Structure 1
Amino acid sequence: MSQLIAVAPMLDWTDRHCRYFHRQFSQHTVLYTEMVTTGAILFGQQDHLGFNDAEQPVVLQLGGSDPIAMAECTAIASERGYHEVNINVGCPSERVQNGSFGACLMTTPETIAECVEAMRKSAPTARISVKTRLGIDDQDSDEFLQRFMEPVMAAGCQHFTLHARTAWLKGLSPKQNREIPPLQYDRVYRMKERYPQLHISINGGIKTAEAIAEHLQRVDGVMVGREAYQNPELIGSFDGILGYDTHVPSTEQVLVAMIPYIDSHVQAGGRVWHVVRHMLGLFNGQPGAKRWRQVMSQQGPTAQSAAELFEFALKEVAAAREKFHQKVAEYAN
């Protein structure tokens, strides 16, 4: 099976504007929507499935547990151009638990199996995948994970993304659940060894190109979350890791490419800030990064022109870099 690298679905972050921005850095990285619930698709007033063709390959992450609703949403998504729908069995928030989906569904694998079967029937050409944790609360053994995966596999799911942590449904917030439960990469590796026929991706705490390459020696894919969002230029390394000979654009080239997209969004009644709020991580770790964030945060919400905003911000970054280099030179002397 071919290897892949993906940017994780992240609520309030990986909307269509964020995905278009991320696509500027990589042509082959798999992008995910935010988690969208079946209720939002079937009964919501907004269009939660819109995307730009340039975002492909893009995956819809779906939250729900009713096989009929999951199947109906998958059929709609397939008609809209999504080639893969991913079932969220990993989110630990109380709101998600109250909606009977997310990580709590690890205790009812038969429900997920029924969803997979119904979704496959409703959209035969779409791939159905599952993103899950290693376990929940004190149910964190390999055996528990296998008891979850095997019925889902039997229903026809061959693609799993395993977040290499247990979800603690009691006593931890979603943020704490991303930090406190220990990472257990070895358990993900063991699942790949046990089920070599599956396409298994690993997720959780992965922050560098070197770490991605190392994981790809043991599993089929790597999913990167917050690091990709907060340091988007990391995405520029993904195609090369996968062996593609593609041009990696400079930050300035990315900004130029984003201007017509933002202009179109504004002409359609949107705001510059809807897009540029996802771009604060540019220049991460470089001289001038702090000044970039300041300008974008202060002027972005009221900006009328992306070109003018970027031009001013880049001048401020250049000035900050000049001060930095002067200080380095003074220290050296």
Structure 2
Amino acid sequence: MMEWTDRHCRAFHRQLTRNALLYTEMVTTGAVIHGDRNHLIGFSDIEHPVACQLGGSDPKEMAEAARIVSEFGYDEVNINVGCPSDRVQSGRFGACLMEEPELVAACVAAMKDAVDISVTVKCRIGVDDQDPEEALDRMADATFAAGSDALWVHARKAWLQGLSPKENRDIPPLDYDRVMRLKQRLPDQFIGLNGGLQTLDQAEPYLQQLDGLMFGRAAYHTPQILGEVDRRLYGADADDVSPWAAVKAHMGYLDDQLSKGVKLARMTRHMLGLFHGRPGARSWRRILTVEAIRPGAGLEVVEKALAAVSPAGSGLEAAE
């Protein structure tokens, strides 16, 4: 989700769900410790609850980065043990750490000593020729023993050799049953499922056995599914948030950021998939894509794009 789930994306997604935990892009410990922190991990208060995902493998650096993240006000800090890119491998973090569960556990322990917020891990079921039964059990046992508050499992092996990260999105097959077996073995630990979840209808049944669901690309490309999350997954006594209502609610944030010099296109690029499958969706995307990049583009572009989407059956009139 690099370059996708930035602060503007998260602020927009928060208009659709009040309860879902939102995740940052992965940021390296070196960047957090030595870089422009406000640019890298700054966020708006409206994003809560929000977690910062770190990439790294040195326990001392992970602890220092976690401390900084905690001081910024994040609700959780997460260790990335899933990204398969070459850049991540060369830095000794991401999915290659599946081969070093004891090192990940040392990072968890150091971070737990440094902060009071939740420390969690997101991993794969294995890498390359590892046996997923042994590899995932070792990671889970080591990190929970070190104090991890949750383990999010991307239910697909990461191939570090021979496949590109793009190819690895579909190959090898997902293995949700492996995650279920882990939960059965560790019934008292928080085990969440990630990988390939596309709709709430597909994903919701897994909550009968697991503790959480993590949506990535589906939430980005079709964010309207987030409008149902509070009612369906959190039991909120509230109506679903329609795409139209979400845009209306987001106008204040857009206006505030525009006044601070943020370009409209930086924010609206995350909104392109909102009306996917609805009448007028193509016009919505076209207007935002073409007109938001023009110098001085403001809220009028969003209003024009919204007017191009048919509100029939949206419930917007009642919401207003």
Q: Same fold (TM over 0.5)?
A: yes
Aligned to 1:215: 206
When normalised by structure 1's length, the TM-score is 0.90
2:175 and 2:55 mapped to 1: Cα distance? 25
How far residue 68 of structure 1 moved from its aligned partner, in angstroms, is 0.6
1:247 and 1:57 mapped to 2: Cα distance? 20
Q: Tell me if 1:88 matches 2:80.
A: yes
1:122 and 1:162 mapped to 2: Cα distance? 24
Which one-letter code corresponds to 1:191 in the other structure?
A: L
Aligned to 2:45: 53
Deviations 1:272-323 (A, max 9, x none): 111101000011111211121111111111263442102222333349x9xx
Deviations 1:150-199 (A, max 9, x none): 12111111300000100000011111111121010000000000111110
What are the ranges of 5 or more consecutive residues in structure 1 without an aligned counterpart? 1-9, 322-333
Aligned to 1:186: 177
2:279 and 2:95 mapped to 1: Cα distance? 40
Matched residues, number = 310
Which one-letter code corresponds to 1:246 in the other structure?
A: A
Deviations 1:210-264 (A, max 9, x none): 1221111120000011111011110011111221112333222222222221121
Deviations 1:27-54 (A, max 9, x none): 1011000001001111113521211111
1:166 aligned to 157, 162, 165, which one? 157
Which one-letter code corresponds to 1:249 in the other structure?
A: V
Q: How does 1:106-255 map onto structure 2 within 5 Å?
A: 106-123=98-115, 125-242=116-233, 243-255=235-247
What is the DSSP-based 3-state SS (H/G/I as helix, E as strand, rest coil) of the residue aligned with 2:172? coil
Q: Tell me if 1:39 matches 2:30.
A: yes
1:317 aligned to 286, 301, 309, which one? 309
Residues 161 and 203, structure 1, Cα contact 8 Å, conserved in 2: yes
1:239 and 1:140 mapped to 2: Cα distance? 37
2:298 and 2:242 mapped to 1: Cα distance? 18
Identity %: 49
Aligned to 1:329: none
1:172 and 1:233 mapped to 2: Cα distance? 32
Residues 134 and 162, structure 1, Cα contact 8 Å, conserved in 2: yes
Aligned to 1:24: 15
Aligned to 1:297: 289
2:132 and 2:214 mapped to 1: Cα distance? 22
2:89 and 2:199 mapped to 1: Cα distance? 32
What is the DSSP-based 3-state SS (H/G/I as helix, E as strand, rest coil) of the residue aligned with 2:219? helix
Taking a change above 3 Å as real, the CA distance of residues 258 and 304 of structure 1, as seen in their structure-2 partners, is farther
Deviations 1:117-157 (A, max 9, x none): 1101111x111100000000110331221122212111111
Aligned to 1:325: none
CA RMSD of aligned residues (A): 1.5
Residues 120 and 128, structure 1, Cα contact 8 Å, conserved in 2: yes
What is the DSSP-based 3-state SS (H/G/I as helix, E as strand, rest coil) of the residue aligned with 2:84? coil
What is the DSSP-based 3-state SS (H/G/I as helix, E as strand, rest coil) of the residue aligned with 2:187? coil
Residues 272 and 303, structure 1, Cα contact 8 Å, conserved in 2: no
Answer 1 or 2: higher relative contact order, Cα 8 Å, separation at least 6.
Answer: 1
2:282 and 2:175 mapped to 1: Cα distance? 34
Which one-letter code corresponds to 2:244 in the other structure?
A: E
Larger mean CA deviation between 129-138 and 261-270 belongs to 261-270
1:258 aligned to 250, 257, 275, which one? 250
2:36 and 2:15 mapped to 1: Cα distance? 30
Which one-letter code corresponds to 1:13 in the other structure?
A: W
Which one-letter code corresponds to 1:12 in the other structure?
A: E
2:122 and 2:182 mapped to 1: Cα distance? 14
